[in-house]
Chains A and B, each alone.
Chain A
Amino acid sequence: MLGQLIASGIAIGATYALMALAMVIIYKTSEVLNFAQGDMAMLSAFIAYMCLSTYGLGFAMSFTLALAFAFALGAFLEFAFLRRAKEPNVLGLIIITLGLEMMLYGLASWRWGSDQKDFPFPVSDFEVHQLGGGVVISELNLVTLGVACALMILLFMFFRYTKVGVAMKATQQNQQAARLMGIRVGRIMMLTWGMSSVVGACAAFLIASTDTLDPNLMWTPQLKGFSAAVLGGMTSLVGAVLGGFILGVVENLFGGYVSVEFKAVVAFAVIVLILCVKPSGLFAKHYVRKV
């Protein structure tokens, strides 16, 4: 019982971790809390669905096309909307992303309606593997777990060892100084949004394959991703992934032992409690703002 709850908690946590990663990438570079994240991913999943079922392309082709679309969408949104805001504050940026979220949601549900669609996926959710001690995990969960960990490691390496990654970190710390050092800040931002959108799209494919595809698909995972990111500290990649796993496990344990009814609520209770103790999350340094 306990082992199974933890195993499936980790499996659910992996999808939260992916969403959290997507959010952290954007927050790390531009300090924008991106509420459009989920719906950007949802739209990409719909593109994949369209390629698969309407045009009958193969899985590899469809997913590549959808990921390319995700990248373009992210870059476009940054270029067309976020960059146009003059000296925005935190609230202004949140409002812009909320507005984008509503636009994307509206467009998707206008185009595809709100009925649920079956999202085909090469890996099945019903083939299970024994982990010993009666604990089972489905193939899809293993893939999700693998994708989350691989993306985390890749992104970690990217931010640490590549020139572009370092430029992204520099942009977050001080845009003015980064610009003076010859970093094209605008281009870096576009790149960040594109990357984040791709990570989000990966999450959306995996979530859509366990669930059905409809325009509301990503709202809950996005909130959980937010909570995971906040839990781990908004600027830490490792924190985001661990936050996702912790959230998934805590949620599942709560559902198993205390009350299934309030399972959806527990995530927020946890983050409020943790934020009271550590206002910048578990794994991030706390910066005190100067006056």
Chain B
Amino acid sequence: MDMKRDYYEDIRLLDSGPQVFWLVVLLGALAAFPLLADSYQIYTVNLIAINVIVALGLNLLVGYTGQISLGHAGFFAIGAYSTLALMLGAHLPFIVALPLAGFISAAFGFLLGLPALRLEGPYLAIATLGFGLTITQILGRLDVFGGHMGLQAPPLELFGLKVTSDAGRYAVIMPICVILTWGLRNLTKTRVGRAFVAVRDSDIAAECIGVNLTYYKTLAFAVSAFYTGIGGGLMAFILGFISPHTFNVMVSIMFLAMVVVGGLGSILGSVMGAVLITWLQLELARIGELPYVGPVLTELSNQVFTLSGLPNVQYVVFGLIMVLIIIFEPLGLYGFWIRTKIYWRTWPF
């Protein structure tokens, strides 16, 4: 079925003709999307694209390299704040500020990667969690970054063109998302990507066969932070306004939820997870207005619970999804997809 006969087949970016065909269809659909959709739909897809970028970065760290991070909201914040600070303070154009912010975030990722070399499991989880909290606390105290009041995003300008509409932002965000996805796919197919996987499967064994643990673990943190920082920089323009409260622990947990629900160690999984979780977030925020479910829950709120607490149902739903995914399908949506594919491939039998 998927037998690889030589090394070059293994490192090829696209495995088969149908894959090329579907990729072209997908890219065409993405290009045509802003012409057909309304503003709110484009806004939704923009959010999804940003979350895809972050989920990819986090998946590289968690799924491919096996390091837990509960502090990605910290990198997200660093990306957002550096982009705005570089544009407002240093008057750099967006196209320079965004990658620079990515590299600043990557530098912080490298720094966080250093203690992570000695930590594993629960200790690493706590250290990264602490990192995320510390970053937002510090940002909230620094007057340069507006303190608790936050920062207003400047108008987005690209090559002299002012971008004001959702469709315009889509034209900026989506190409970046596609390029970064492509880049990650490429990275995982190379020597570096295989080293990451080796570190995940057994770091001691990997070290024995010559993988430099210090280098690859910090590199994984840096690349992951770069992706997240880019995502944060773009997010600043979607929101138009950022404050330290935008980047709380729940954001980190949601990123982790995307990766886990989508499927650890898979690019398609990251994309699926980001799409599902972002869409659910938007839908569940106004759960009382949803058809069928809404009236039932409103009635239930009046009887047993409180109506003012109704939006909190989204946490119950997300929690349930996370728990059920781990219990029943540890590979996430990607595992589900693979199983469905294999089922139909051998269908009558």
Interface set of A (CB-CB < 8 Å, partner B): 27, 33, 81, 84-86, 88, 90-92, 94-96, 98-107, 109-114, 215, 219, 223, 226-227, 230, 234, 261-262, 264-265, 267-269, 271-272, 275-276, 279-281, 289, 291
Given contacts A109-B309, A111-B304, A111-B306, A267 and B323 within 8 Å (CB-CB): no
* Chain B residues near A (Cβ < 8 Å): 62, 66, 68, 115, 118-123, 125-127, 129-131, 133-134, 137-138, 141, 202, 204-205, 249, 253, 256-257, 260, 264, 301, 304-306, 308-310, 312-323, 326-327, 330
Contact A96 B306 (CB under 8 A): no
Q: Bound complex: CA of A280 vs CA of B330, how far in Å?
A: 28
Cβ-closest chain B residue relative to A91: B68
Residues of B within 8 A of A219 (CB): 249
Bound state CA distance, A7 and B327, in angstroms? 46
**In the docked arrangement, what's the CA distance between A145 and B189, Å?**
56
Contact of B316 with A92 in the complex, beta carbons under 8 Å: no
The reply to whether B119 and A279 contact each other, CB–CB distance below 8 Å, is yes
Contact A291/B202 with A102-B253, A234-B122, A268-B131 known, Cβ cut-off 8 Å: yes
Determine if B315 and A102 form an interchain contact, defined as CB atoms under 8 angstroms apart.
yes
Contact B323 A81 (CB under 8 A): yes
Q: Nearest Cβ in chain B — how far from A283, in angstroms?
A: 14
Q: Looking at the complex, which one of A101, A215, A265 makes contact with B319 (CB distance below 8 Å)?
A: A101
Does the CB pair B316–A230 fall under 8 Å? Answer: no
Does the CB pair B312–A109 fall under 8 Å? yes
Decide yes or no: A106 and B322 within 8 Å by CB, A91-B62, A94-B125, A113-B309 being known contacts: no
Contact B318 A81 (CB under 8 A): no
Cβ–Cβ contact A90 & B323, under 8 A: no
Contact A110 B312 (CB under 8 A): yes
Residue of B nearest to A289 (CB): B204
**Minimum C-beta distance from A74 to chain B (A):** 16
The answer on a CB contact under 8 Å between A100 and B319 is yes
Shortest beta-carbon distance from A244 to chain B in Å: 14
Asked if A102 contacts B306 (CB within 8 A), the reply is no
Contact between chains at A291 and B126 (CB < 8 Å):
no
- B320 and A99: CB pair below 8 A? yes
| In contact, A276 and B118 (Cβ under 8 angstroms) | yes
Among A88, A219, A279, the most chain B Cβ lie within 10 Å of the Cβ of: A279
**Known contacts A27-B122, A90-B121, A105-B315; A85 and B309 CB within 8 A of each other:** no
- Name the residue on B nearest A84 (C-beta): B327
The smallest beta-carbon distance between B327 and chain A, in angstroms, is: 5
Pair B322/A230 contact, Cβ less than 8 Å = no
Q: List 16 A-B contacts (CB under 8 A).
A: A88-B330, A95-B257, A95-B260, A99-B318, A99-B322, A106-B312, A106-B317, A110-B310, A111-B304, A112-B306, A223-B130, A227-B126, A262-B141, A264-B133, A279-B118, A279-B123
* A290 to B125 alpha-carbon distance, docked (Å): 21
* B304 with A96: CB separation less than 8 A: no
- Least distance between A197 CB and chain B CB atoms (Å): 17
A109 to B234, CA, bound (A): 32
Contacts of A98 in B (CB 8 A): 253, 256-257, 319, 322
Q: Which residues of B contact A111 (CB under 8 A)?
A: 304-306, 309
Nearest residue in B to A105 (C-beta to C-beta)?
B315
Q: Which 9 A-B pairs have the closest CB atoms?
A: A268-B130, A106-B315, A102-B319, A99-B322, A103-B319, A106-B316, A99-B323, A33-B122, A110-B309
Point out the residue from A96, A105, A265, A269 that lies within 8 Å of B312, measured CB to CB.
Answer: A105
Q: Which residue of B lies closest to A102 (CB)?
A: B319
- Cβ of A275 and Cβ of B118 under 8 Å apart? yes
The reply to whether B131 and A96 form a contact with Cβ atoms under 8 Å apart is no
Not counting A33-B122, A85-B327, A95-B326, a sample of 11 additional A-B residue pairs whose C-beta atoms are within 8 angstroms of each other reads A33-B121, A95-B323, A102-B316, A102-B319, A102-B322, A105-B315, A111-B306, A111-B309, A215-B312, A267-B130, A291-B204
With a cutoff of 8 Å between Cβ atoms, the chain A residues found around residue B115 in the complex are 272, 275-276
List B contacts of A262 (CB < 8 A).
137-138, 141
B316 touches A103 (CB 8 A): yes
The chain A residue with its CB closest to the CB of B260 is: A95
A115 closest partner in B (C-beta): B308
Interface centre among B120, B314, B330 (most CB of A within 10 A): B330
Report if A230-B126 is in contact (Cβ < 8 Å); known contacts: A110-B301, A276-B118.
yes
| Residues of A contacting B330 in the complex (Cβ-Cβ under 8 angstroms) | 86, 88, 92
Smallest CB–CB gap between A92 and chain B, Å?
5
What residues of chain A lie closer than 8 Å to B204, measured between beta carbons? 289, 291
Chain B residue, CB-CB nearest to A268: B130
Whether A107 lies near B327 (C-beta < 8 A) is no
B314: chain A residues at CB < 8 Å are: 106
Do B68 and A94 touch (CB < 8 A)?
yes
A223 touches B133 (CB 8 A): yes
| CA–CA, A268 and B319, complex, Å | 26
Given contacts A33-B125, A265-B134, A265-B137, contact A103 B320 (CB under 8 A): yes
For A98, give the chain B residue with the smallest CB separation: B253
- CB pair B123–A230 under 8 Å, yes or no, is yes
